Amino acid sequence: MAARPAWQGHLKLSLVTCPVALYTAVSSNAHVSFHLINPDTNNRIRMIPTDPDTGPVERSDLVKGYEVSKDEYVLFDDADFDKVKLETTRTISIDSFVDEAAIDRLYWDDPFYVVPEKGAGAEAFAVIRDAMKSAGKIAIGSLVLRGRERQLALEVRGKGLVAYSLRPHDEVREAEDYFDEIPTVKADKDMVEIASRIIAQKDAGFDPTKFKDRYDDALRDMIKAKQKGGKKVVAAPEPDDTNVIDLMEALRNSLKGPAAGKKPPVKKATKAATKKKKPASRNKAA
């Protein structure tokens, strides 16, 4: 396997253990990324660690500090971090099993592939995996990863397991803090019925391969244009807000469009239309 593991240790279910490795399940390498450039010299900017008294220093010579009061720090080097040893530093211990629906989607975070190390541990891994599959539950455990102890949710996928780090409760904001100010509106029953039919028309299976990052593609097109000396910029006008007066008409037209199997015509924004258009309010409910 070409990828380097993000973590190596053991998976433990009661008295059954096996060596495993975690591999990051997602990659962002395909996205357009930029460097900071000085436009006067076209040189790439280098971020150099600098002490305000002595000047530039080697990054490898630095240690970490926790600020306990203004300009006062408790210092930590690598040896100090090595002394903080928990069982979860090297072991994923399965503590409980829950239904998948019992975990709020707000808590799901980064996914990792859990792969058994080659050797005798493969059989123990298979026992844990098949027992989990038979139970039809999500396993909950803990792991020290990237300098933090994280709760994990593990599920069976094919011949392996997928472990999702779970966000801590104190990091998840309460929805009520944002939704309480949404005005109470009694939706028109006829409008809701038409909207429900539109939803039924658009019912489909989830296919992530159909999603293309058009913003990323637009950046790549602009990069090519700049390489060729072009200055063409693609602009997309914002849609007008749908007001209460024409809401029913908009719903009816939406229902007709997909039913006829035709795509709605693309409007070309004119300069006059652009000037008259009011910017959409960010505070307005969708």
Cα 281 vs. chain centroid, distance in angstroms? 26
Q: What length does the chain have?
A: 286
Task: Please report whether residue 189 resides in a domain.
Answer: yes
Whether residues 193 and 244 fall in one domain: yes
Cα–Cα distance measured from residue 177 to residue 175, given in angstroms and rounded to the nearest whole number:
5
Task: Please report whether residue 160 resides in a domain.
Answer: yes
Whether residues 218 and 99 fall in one domain: no
Q: What is the mean pLDDT of each run of 10 residues along the chain (286 residues)?
A: 83 91 85 87 89 92 92 90 79 93 94 89 91 94 87 96 95 93 90 89 83 80 80 59 69 67 45 43 40
Could you list the residue range(s) of the whole structural domain that residue 242 is in?
185-200+212-260
CB 114 within 8 A of CB 160: yes
Element (H, E) at 220: helix 214-227
Q: What is the pLDDT of residue 283?
A: 42
Q: What is the pLDDT of residue 162?
A: 97
User: Which pTM was predicted?
Assistant: 0.69
Q: What is the pLDDT of residue 257?
A: 67
Annotate 54-118 with DSSP letters as a single string: TEE--GGG--EEEEEETTEEEEE-HHHHHH---GGGTEEEEEEEE-GGGS-GGGEEEEEEEEEPS
Q: What is the pLDDT of residue 218?
A: 82
CB 228 within 8 A of CB 222: no
Whether residues 104 and 155 fall in one domain: yes
Whether residues 231 and 139 fall in one domain: no
